[in-house]
């Protein structure tokens, strides 16, 4: 078996027929599998639940730093929860606001407030601007892109590299004062699992955007989410930006969605003290306080960074075999055919695969037909349009390994089928 590109029409036809037969066999299994979303699996939830739900027992557990976490108050979050996130992110507790169960909500709300009220250095609310443009390193996280699309911003694609966003492209783009911000998942990027290099971070932190209220969205969703190897230290973006006089540019986000529970964790926004003061004033209109009982539950359960990293090791034991299963199958089934490339990350929640250009949609439609749901084609690009129709995001976390083996078998078969189909059509 060699690369499809080198095959004759007859050889390709044989490959196609074999894949088609395999596809029919897989379809007949009536599978119903899901690799669409970075959802932790049941084993991870079970591992956490018992401990997390039993830490709050005694009356003294309701009190933290003298605050009764059951009542109203402490808009910025429990001091102990702010300290916990600060330790994990490497910033100061005063730079942290602890929110509800969703960092996405904190990100959306921060941008929404920029639109309705403006940021600290905004000449006016963004809804009064002629046009707002936004930088989207792609492939990237579809929910990020959808937030900025939803507010009517013009999304500008920035190519991703293994070192992070193409900084030449970024530096050229920010000369336009209408460019108001940029999405980032700096550690184990979604979906490629890339880690921004020190040089990329330095160039980002020292940017001089034309917009005085440029919003560097730093979604550190996978800050402690290694599933292979040791915890990798990562620069604190707030102090990096401070170094270059850009202290008020960075808005960092993190959550325990993939540390404790996806639906019932806690989240945070970290920013300069000036930004925190500005945002607390705006947030105080919206909410009296976030759920401090759940914050206290997390403080008691996670304790500190070292203890949290121990828990992440246990998540890694569950996650690593799943990623192994995916990458091994791709290496075995797809690598020899030369019809796709992929990454093999050390952390995060995704494997990003680049199929033969023009075959991603077709591959995912076939997967669906065989009962395997994947992230929609194009989702990793602004407006949901992948110009090459190539990128496929694989999310191996939810299914148990046995199911995953079947799901990846389906994906490999569909990749072969769509590639052979396309090459055959081109040879006609």
Residues engaged in binding its own copies (CB under 8 A): 37, 39-40, 42, 45-46, 49, 53, 56-57, 59, 62, 68-73, 100-102, 104-105, 108-109, 112, 115-117, 125, 127-128, 143, 146-147, 150-151, 257, 261-264, 282, 285-294
From CA 128, how far away is CA 58, in angstroms rounded?
52
> Which CB sits closer to its own copies, 294 or 375?
294
d(CA 391, CA 190): 12
In whole angstroms, give the CA distance from residue 343 to residue 352. 6
Quickly count: other Cβ atoms within 10 Å of residue 367's Cβ: 25
In the complex with its own copies, the residue whose CB is nearer, 232 or 288, is 288
259, exposed or middle or buried, with CB in 10 Å at 0-12, 13-18, 19+?
A: buried
Q: How far is the CB of 150 from its own copies (least distance, A)?
A: 5
Do residues 322 and 404 lie in contact, with contact meaning Cβ atoms separated by under 8 Å? Answer: yes
Q: Given the complex with its own copies, which of 48 and 410 has the nearer CB atom?
A: 48
Identity of the residue, 72 or 383, whose beta carbon is nearer to its own copies in the bound complex: 72
Burial class (CB in 10 A: 0-12, 13-18, 19+), 25: exposed
To 10 degrees, what angle do helices 273-286 and 103-116 make?
A: 90
- Closest-CA residue to 364 (of 394, 342, 385, 334): 394
Burial 33-71 (b: 16+ CB within 10 A, else e): bebbebbbbeebbebbeeebeeebeeeeebebeebebee
The nearest distance, CB 206 to its own copies, in angstroms, is 32
Q: Minimum distance between the CB of residue 128 and its own copies, rounded to whole angstroms?
A: 8
Look-up: residue for tokens 């009517």?
A: 152
**Smallest distance, Å, CB 123 to its own copies?**
16
> Minimum Å distance from CB 78 to its own copies?
10
261 vs 271, beta carbon nearer its own copies: 261
Which CB sits closer to its own copies, 257 or 343? Answer: 257
112/406 with CB nearer its own copies: 112
Neighbours of 105 (CB within 10 A): 16
Tell me the C-alpha distance between 159 and 139, whole Å: 8
CB of 82 to its own copies, least distance (A): 16
* Torsion angle of the four alpha carbons 172, 254, 85, 58, in this order, in degrees rounded to the nearest 10: 170
CB of 181 to its own copies, least distance (A): 16
Residue 75 or 329: the one with the smaller Cβ distance to its own copies is: 75
**Residue whose pair of structure tokens reads 């529970």 in the numeric block:** 261
CB of 211 to its own copies, least distance (A): 19
CB of 188 to its own copies, least distance (A): 18
> Residue 177 class from Cβ within 10 Å (0-12 exposed, 13-18 middle, 19+ buried)?
middle
Least separation in angstroms between CB 62 and its own copies: 6
Instruction: Report the distance separating Cα 112 and Cα 106, nearest Å.
Output: 10
Supply the minimum distance, in Å, between the C-beta of residue 142 and its own copies.
11
Which CB, 30 or 59, lies closer to its own copies? 59
Token code pair at residue 131 = 């046009």
Residue 69 or 201 with smaller CB distance to its own copies: 69
Residue among 85, 36, 39 at smallest CA distance from 318: 39
Residue with smaller CB distance to its own copies, 264 or 312: 264
CB 36 within 8 A of CB 374: yes
């Amino acid at each position: 078996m060699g690369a499809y590109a080198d095959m004759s029409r007859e050889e390709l036809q044989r490959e196609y027929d074999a894949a088609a037969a395999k596809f029919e066999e897989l379809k007949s299994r009536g599978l119903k599998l899901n690799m669409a979303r970075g959802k932790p699996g049941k084993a991870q939830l079970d591992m956490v639940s018992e401990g997390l739900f039993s830490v709050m027992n005694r009356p003294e557990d309701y009190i933290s730093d003298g605050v009764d976490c059951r009542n109203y108050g402490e808009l910025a979050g429990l001091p102990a929860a702010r300290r916990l996130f600060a330790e994990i992110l490497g910033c100061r507790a005063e730079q942290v606001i602890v929110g509800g169960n969703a960092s996405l909500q904190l990100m959306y709300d921060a941008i929404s407030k920029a639109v309705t009220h403006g940021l600290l250095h905004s000449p006016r609310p963004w809804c009064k601007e002629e046009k707002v443009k936004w930088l989207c390193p792609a492939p990237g996280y579809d929910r990020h892109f959808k937030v900025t699309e939803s507010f009517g911003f013009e999304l500008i694609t920035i190519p991703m590299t293994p070192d992070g966003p193409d900084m030449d492209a970024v530096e050229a783009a920010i000369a336009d004062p209408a460019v108001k911000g940029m999405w980032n998942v700096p550690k184990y990027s979604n979906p490629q699992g890339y880690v921004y290099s020190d040089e990329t971070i330095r160039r980002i932190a020292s940017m001089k955007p034309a917009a005085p209220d440029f919003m560097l969205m730093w979604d550190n969703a996978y800050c402690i989410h290694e599933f292979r190897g040791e915890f990798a230290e990562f620069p604190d973006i707030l102090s990096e930006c401070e170094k270059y006089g850009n202290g008020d540019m960075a808005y960092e986000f993190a959550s325990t969605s993939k540390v404790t529970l996806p639906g019932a964790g806690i989240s945070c926004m970290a920013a300069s003290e000036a930004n925190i003061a500005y945002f607390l004033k705006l947030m105080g209109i919206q909410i009296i306080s976030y759920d401090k009982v759940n914050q206290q539950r997390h403080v008691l359960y996670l304790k500190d960074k070292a203890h949290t990293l121990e828990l992440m090791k246990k998540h890694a034991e569950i996650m690593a075999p799943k990623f192994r299963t995916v990458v091994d199958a791709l290496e075995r089934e797809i690598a020899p055919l030369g019809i796709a490339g992929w990454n093999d990350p050390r952390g995060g929640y995704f494997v990003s695969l680049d199929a033969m250009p023009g075959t991603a949609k077709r591959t995912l439609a076939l997967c669906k037909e065989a009962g395997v749901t994947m992230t929609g084609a194009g989702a990793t690009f602004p407006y949901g349009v992948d110009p090459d129709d190539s990128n496929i995001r694989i999310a191996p976390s939810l299914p148990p390994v046995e199911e995953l083996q079947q799901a990846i078998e389906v994906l490999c078969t569909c990749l072969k089928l769509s590639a052979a189909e396309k090459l055959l059509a081109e040879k006609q």
